[in-house]
Amino acid sequence: MRVIVVGAGALGTMHAWHAVERGHHVVHLEREEQARGASVRNFGLVWVGGRSVGPELDMALRARQLWQEIAEQVPGVGFRPGGSLTVLRSAAEYAVAAEVAARSDAALRGWELLDPEETRKANPALRGDGLLGALWSPHDARVEPRTAQRALQDHLRASGRYTFLGGREVREVVGERAVRDDRGELHSGDAVVLCTGAWLGGLVRELAPQLPVRRVRLQMMQTEPLGEDLPTSVADGDSFRYYPAYAGGALDALNAVQPQHETAAEHRMQLLMVQRADGTLTIGDTHEYDQPFGFDVVEEPYRYLAGLAEDLLGRPLPPVRRRWAGVYAQCLDPALVVHRERVREGVWIVTGPGGRGMTGSPAIGETTANELEW
């Protein structure tokens, strides 16, 4: 087959990967010279632990397996297993962790409730006071978001069946299984897959005017190198409020007796802290849903996150190297991992993984390939 993939973020690149792996030819179009959206503006987390039981968790576990297999062929994706710790600093947070660690699906997730000594053994960089323990998620991992897509593209080029065309905005779908770009060139194939991320206007709106997804904006930052190893990814107790796996009586009690800090509540925040391969830290994040989004980055959330990170590390953070905002597309139905829709004969849109795009892209691409019988 000849497959036309539009969009070179994580989702589009993984669709190209699976097509080439199955012996097909791929023409890969990207409106920027390289992807510049949420796929490069994220933590690089392969985040399994907090996913809801059922299709979402199945997707995350399969994606985790695929990331590891892909990294054996393409070391440049920067895959590192590592796991994650959700640190506990109050009795109410500890109760949530204890409740979920005792559930029947905890073994599938690999969850384990750690005491303070075990927490610091798993991550000696956590020297701050007040730790009551942590929820350990061993399946969580990291990849390098700023370089993973390019490393995958370089590998695919070596197959001789992959062509990447950057700086090509697709303007129209022509008949069946063909698109025309903004240079007037026609690209025809046996299947067209549009993985356009948060770009929901223009051609996407024309093809799917009632697309059931929304755009979400977030802010993050990256420090200079920490100067020591942060062997696990780190989340704070506010993460319990945002991931479906933690729902239950203990979470209800947490929300009742321990409201979020005013800044965290206003910006819908949790602390996530991930060390990059170069030793720097990526720290975030916020969530903004009401459009039009602001065009500036707000400083108050950064100060709040930096303070939390310093409390956990028991030391000052390195200087901040960069700050940024990003936007991703999220399904309106939280039960859906992704929205996959045939909009014309031979033409599909795949979008809306939300904050699960980096985690789930290998499994989402595989599912598309299976459903389309590539």
How many domains is the chain built from?
2
| Cα–Cα distance, 160 to 142 (Å, whole number) | 29
**Predicted confidence band at 335 (pLDDT cuts at 50, 70, 90)?**
confident
Q: Give pLDDT, residue 289.
A: 95
Residue 120 lies in a domain: yes
Read off the pLDDT of residues 82-94 as tens digits, 9 standing for 90 and up: 999 999 999 999 9
In terms of domains, do 239 and 287 share one? yes
Read off the pLDDT of residues 123-178 as tens digits, 9 standing for 90 and up: 999 999 999 999 999 999 999 999 999 999 999 999 999 999 999 999 999 988 99
What would you report as the CA-atom Rg of the chain, rounded to the nearest whole angstrom? Answer: 21
| Cα–Cα distance, 332 to 212 (Å, whole number) | 6
Residue 65 lies in a domain: no
In terms of domains, do 115 and 19 share one? no
Q: Is the pLDDT of residue 31 over 90?
A: yes
Question: In the predicted model, what is the mean pLDDT of the chain?
Answer: 96
Q: Is the pLDDT of residue 334 over 90?
A: no
Asked if the bond preceding 124 is cis, omega within 30° of 0, the reply is no
**84 CB burial (10 A radius; 0-12, 13-18, 19+):** buried
Q: Give pLDDT, residue 357.
A: 94
Q: Can you tell me the mean pLDDT for 317-338?
A: 95
Q: Give pLDDT, residue 53.
A: 93
Q: Buried (b) or exposed (e) across 238-276, using 16+ Cβ within 10 A?
A: bbbbebebbeeebbeebeeeeebeebbeebbbbbbbbbb
CA dist list (Å): 199 to 194, 210, 324: 11, 14, 18
In terms of domains, do 130 and 188 share one? no
In terms of domains, do 203 and 186 share one? yes
Dihedral-angle region of residue 322 (phi above 0 means left; psi in -120 to 50 means alpha; beta otherwise):
beta
Q: Buried (b) or exposed (e) across 138-172, using 16+ Cβ within 10 A?
A: bbbbbbbbbbbbbbbbebbeeeeebebeeebebbe
In terms of domains, do 120 and 222 share one? yes
Read off the pLDDT of residues 256-295 as tens digits, 9 standing for 90 and up: 999 999 999 999 999 999 999 999 999 999 999 999 998 9
Dihedral-angle region of residue 244 (phi above 0 means left; psi in -120 to 50 means alpha; beta otherwise):
alpha
| Cα–Cα distance, 308 to 300 (Å, whole number) | 13
DSSP-assigned letters across all residues of 149-208: HHHHHHHHHTTTSEEEEES--EEEE-SSSEEEETTS-EEE-SEEEE--TT--STHHHHH-
Residue 206 lies in a domain: yes
Q: Report the percentage of the chain scoring pLDDT > 90.
A: 99
Contact (CB, 8 A) for 138 and 271: no
Instruction: Tell me which residue range forms the domain holding 201.
Output: 2-41+146-212+335-371
Check which CATH number belongs to the domain holding 260 and give it. Answer: 3.30.9.10
Q: Give pLDDT, residue 163.
A: 98
In terms of domains, do 356 and 224 share one? no
**Predicted confidence band at 229 (pLDDT cuts at 50, 70, 90)?**
very high
Residue 174 dihedral angles phi and psi, to the nearest 5°? -105, 110
In terms of domains, do 193 and 280 share one? no
Contact (CB, 8 A) for 181 and 170: yes
Of 162, 122, 67, 112, the C-alpha closest to 357 is 67
Q: Is the pLDDT of residue 313 over 90?
A: yes
**Predicted confidence band at 185 (pLDDT cuts at 50, 70, 90)?**
very high
Report yes or no on whether pTM surpasses 0.85: yes
